[in-house]
Amino acid sequence: METVVLRDEFIKLGQALKAAGLVESGSEAKEVILDGLVTVNGEVILQRGKKLYDGDVVSYQGQQVSIVK
């Protein structure tokens, strides 16, 4: 499982996808999120700006990313 370390209190979903290397750009992140291909803690999320906190788990194309402080 990949990890993204928080520098602040939270990271936005689109930024986390880019930081983990799951997408190459913000526009690609927006597209996969709006297509319903991304889950956070098991729920499909359609908001690119969804705030992620320590302990959240993002899934995309069979890959998981853990958000850690």
Q: Show the tokens assigned to 37.
A: 């291909």
Split into its structural domains, the chain has a count of 1
What pLDDT is attached to residue 39?
98
Beta strand extents in 1-69 (DSSP E only): 2-5, 11-12, 38-40, 43-44, 51-52, 57-60, 63-68
Q: Show the tokens assigned to 10.
A: 């939270």
* CATH assignment of the domain containing 13: 3.10.290.10
Provide the residue range defining the domain that includes 7: 2-68
Match 């930081």 to its residue by tokens.
Answer: 19
Chain-centroid distance of CA 14 in Å reads: 6
Tens of pLDDT along the chain (69 residues) come to 889 999 999 999 999 999 999 999 999 999 999 999 999 999 999 999 999 999 999 999 999 999 999
